């Protein structure tokens, strides 16, 4: 299948796990009813609240998330990217994990976020993801979907580390998800330019489903879920607010761009 319909779900997630997952299910069904075969959820889609509550609810969040997405992907015959949810780690913390569920309902891909958001970006909030999240250590694999093509995923802050994307390209990726909860202040400054840069550098599609709006304690996320093609063109921008962004993807564009400018083959410096 060289062409398919992509659905990116933009959310304003809160602390109510059941409510968040119900919204996800509603949007997934809406996207699938329009013909979407690949659907992406943002980082923190089942829960976005305090770090303490996240740890307390981690097992519940994981179980409910996997049960919902495994069942609905099989029922609707679609592929779903679970953009980032807490997954209990052995040391009492959690991993920030993304999973791809295939149309058979089975897990095809799992990645633990490597780069953790320990920053003071200037919005008055101190972010210390590492207090509760254990960093992953493994470069994401590529899920070679027979229906769609070669799919991988990073998570949010990973976007700022181009060397990670280069490692993924060694695994034949054609599409890379960047599920995110980008802060408004950094989103306004860097979101679009970084996503377009990663697409251009790696000559691949970038799919970035995002959180939007105001959350607990005034935390504000940027929205603007984006679809970027391998030439760096923006094919879709969700703007603000909760919604489904539907975009037609022509996977042949990957090979067309790589043939026009074979930069990946011209690399002289390798890690």
> pLDDT tens, position by position, for the chain (271 residues)?
589 999 999 999 999 999 999 999 999 999 999 999 999 999 999 999 999 999 999 999 999 999 999 999 999 999 999 999 999 999 999 999 999 999 999 999 999 999 999 999 998 888 999 999 999 999 999 999 999 999 999 999 999 999 999 999 999 999 999 999 999 999 999 999 999 999 999 999 999 999 999 998 889 999 999 999 999 999 999 999 999 999 999 999 999 999 999 999 999 988 6
Residue 156 among the catalytic residues: yes
Say what the pLDDT of residue 126 is: 87
Cβ pair 185, 121 in contact under 8 A: yes
Give the alpha-carbon dihedral of 171, 177, 183, 187, to 10 degrees.
90
Residue 2's pLDDT is 84
pTM for the whole structure: 0.97
Pairing of strands 127-128, 3-10: unpaired
Give 128's strand partners.
Answer: 118
Neighbours of 12 (CB within 10 A): 18
**Beta strand segments in the chain, E:** 3-10, 36-40, 79-88, 94-101, 107-112, 118-119, 127-128, 143-145, 149-153, 175-177, 205-208, 212-214, 220-222, 226-228, 234-237, 243-250
Catalytic residue among 113, 174, 184, 253: 113
**Kind of pairing between the strands at 149-153 and 175-177:** parallel
Q: Which fold has domain 3-265?
A: Nitrilase/N-carbamoyl-D-aminoacid amidohydrolase (3.60.110)
The pLDDT value given to residue 256: 97
Is 113 annotated in the active site?
A: yes
- Other CB atoms within a 10 A radius of the CB of residue 246 amount to 18
Question: What does the alpha-carbon distance between residue 73 and residue 106 come to, in Å, rounded to a whole number?
Answer: 9
Which of 23, 43, 62, 64 is an active site residue?
43
Res 1: pLDDT = 54
Q: Active-site residue 43, yes or no?
A: yes
What sign does the CA torsion over 4, 37, 86, 236 have? positive
* Active-site option among 24, 134, 156, 184: 156
């Amino acid at each position: 299948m060289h062409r398919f319909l992509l659905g990116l779900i933009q959310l304003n997630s809160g602390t109510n796990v059941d409510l968040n997952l119900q919204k996800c299910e509603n949007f997934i069904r809406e996207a699938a009813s329009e013909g979407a075969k690949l659907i992406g959820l943002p980082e923190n889609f089942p829960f976005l609240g305090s770090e303490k509550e996240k740890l307390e609810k981690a097992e519940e969040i994981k179980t409910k998330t996997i049960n919902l997405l495994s069942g609905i992907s099989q029922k609707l015959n679609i592929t779903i990217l679970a953009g980032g949810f807490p997954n209990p780690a052995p040391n009492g913390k959690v991993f920030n994990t993304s999973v791809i569920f295939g149309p058979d309902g089975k897990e095809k891909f799992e990645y633990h976020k490597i780069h953790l958001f320990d920053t003071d970006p200037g919005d008055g909030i101190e972010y210390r993801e590492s207090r509760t999240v254990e960093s992953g250590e493994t470069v994401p694999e590529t899920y070679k979907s027979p229906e769609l093509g070669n799919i991988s995923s990073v998570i949010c802050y990973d976007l700022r580390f181009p060397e990670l994307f280069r490692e993924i390209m060694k695994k034949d990726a054609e599409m890379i998800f960047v599920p995110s909860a980008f802060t408004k202040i950094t989103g306004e400054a860097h979101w679009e330019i970084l996503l377009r840069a990663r697409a251009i550098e790696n000559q691949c599609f970038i799919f970035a489903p995002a959180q939007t709006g105001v959350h607990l304690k005034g935390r504000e996320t940027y929205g603007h879920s984006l679809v970027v093609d391998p030439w760096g063109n923006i094919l879709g921008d969700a703007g603000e607010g909760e919604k489904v962004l539907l975009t037609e993807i022509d996977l042949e564009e990957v090979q067309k761009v790589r043939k026009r400018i074979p930069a990946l083959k011209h690399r002289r410096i390798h890690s």
